[in-house]
Amino acid sequence: MANIKKYTYKKDLVYLNVDGENIIIKPKKCYNLDKIYKYLDDHDINSYLRPIEINDHQVIFKELEKTSLNDDELAKRLIYNLALWQNKTTSYVPLDLDKVKEIYEKHIKELNFLYAYYHDLQDMIEMKVYMHPSEYLYIRNVSYIYSALNYARHLLDEWYQKITKTTTIREVYCHGKCELSHFLGNDNGYFISLENAHLGSPVEDFLHFYNQDFEKVDMFSTFHFYQHKYPFKEEEKLYFYFSIVIPRMIDIYPSSLNKCTELVKFYDQIKKTSQFISENKEKKEHHQHN
């Protein structure tokens, strides 16, 4: 009988020490997991944490010790492995113009909704004699939202014009939840949490990484490193830029210190994202000129 020395819970994970070896047991949420692992093996991808055992209800892994890598170092290792993963799984598929048009029209509706939402909010607040702190903070900085929305519309139109002139698009195997918390820095690096892995656009994984870990790492140098290893095609880059610059819908109520802090972070990301795109475009133009 196995000698279990430790038994602890963290979220839905169980941590055990069995016969001196630390293991992690997580519920099997994806019943297609075996096919995901097989796809990666068939494409000679080793940068995922292989389970010790899979049964009908659980997936069991060996627990690896936490490394001393800081977030920027871990990000570079993640991006290196992401680029390798994408290079090994890239294929070209025929462009579906109807689907592209559907995506374009969906985003146009999204932009129109956001324009209306933020204009209505502004009109309502400006009718007040006295503003709450979050309302005042919103009004003082609302021009950043409109600038982002206008730029997003410009990028979307540019993407649509570009992609409709192509006949094929790239497809890769996407991790689905690509972020620092789902990557281990041990050895050469291992992706974990593969339940959402699927075939999709090369943009998807770095977009998720950007949105999740924007505040933790230097995105400019990380993106530059990524593009050196797996360069986006022009239409992919335009769609990525559109996806990060479009501001999400934010609720400014109830007015509180926490809500004001959330608003400050919201505006800060809008400004830094605009700067991120501008610096990358300037870098490309400088490279082309030289």
pLDDT digits (tens, 9 = 90+) for 214-235: 999 999 999 999 999 999 999 9
User: Is the bond into 254 cis (omega within 30 degrees of 0)?
Assistant: yes
Residue 7, beta-bridge partner list: 16
What pLDDT sits at residue 8? 59
What pLDDT sits at residue 109? 98
153 and 281 co-located in one domain: yes
11 and 154 co-located in one domain: no
Range of the domain at 106: 87-289
Number of domains in the chain: 2
Candidates 109, 117, 122; CA nearest to 249 is 117
Query: What is d(CA 249, CA 138) in angstroms, rounded to the nearest whole number?
Result: 13
Query: What is d(CA 178, CA 156) in angstroms, rounded to the nearest whole number?
Result: 24
* Amino acid identity for residue 234 in this structure: E
54 and 119 co-located in one domain: no
Query: What is d(CA 200, CA 221) in angstroms, rounded to the nearest whole number?
Result: 25
Q: What would the DSSP string read from start to end of the chain?
A: ---EEEEEEETTEEEEEETTEEEEEEE---TTHHHHHHHHHHTT---B---SEE-SSEEEEEPPPPP---HHHHHHHHHHHHHHHHHHH-EEEE--HHHHHHHHHHHHHHHHHHHHHHHHHHHHHHT-SS--HHHHHHHHHHHHHHHHHHHHHHHHHHHHHHHTT-SEEEEEEE-SS-SGGGEE-STT-EE---TT-EEE-THHHHHHHHHHHTTTS-HHHHHHHHHHHSPPPHHHHHHHHHHHHSPPP----S-SHHHHHHHHHHHHHHHHHHHHHHHHHHHHHHHHH-
130 and 221 co-located in one domain: yes
51 and 133 co-located in one domain: no
Regions in the chain scoring below 50 on pLDDT: 1, 286, 289-290
Judge whether 79 lies within some domain. Answer: no
Judge whether 81 lies within some domain. Answer: no
What pLDDT sits at residue 272? 95
51 and 132 co-located in one domain: no
95 and 164 co-located in one domain: yes
174 and 284 co-located in one domain: yes
Q: How far is CA 218 from CA 63, 128, 232, in A?
A: 29, 40, 19
Judge whether 76 lies within some domain. Answer: no
Judge whether 246 lies within some domain. Answer: yes
CATH number at residue 92: 3.90.1200
Judge whether 71 lies within some domain. Answer: no
What pLDDT sits at residue 289? 46
Q: Which pair of structure tokens corresponds to residue 123?
A: 């009109």
262 and 198 co-located in one domain: yes
Q: How far is CA 116 from CA 110, 120, 205, 209, in A?
A: 10, 6, 30, 29
187 and 244 co-located in one domain: yes
Judge whether 123 lies within some domain. Answer: yes
108 and 244 co-located in one domain: yes
Cα dihedral 71, 74, 78, 84 sign:
positive
Judge whether 9 lies within some domain. Answer: yes
Judge whether 275 lies within some domain. Answer: yes
9 and 148 co-located in one domain: no
Query: What is d(CA 194, CA 255) in angstroms, rounded to the nearest whole number?
Result: 39
What pLDDT sits at residue 281? 80
What pLDDT sits at residue 3? 57
> Are the CB atoms for 191 and 42 separated by under 8 Å?
no
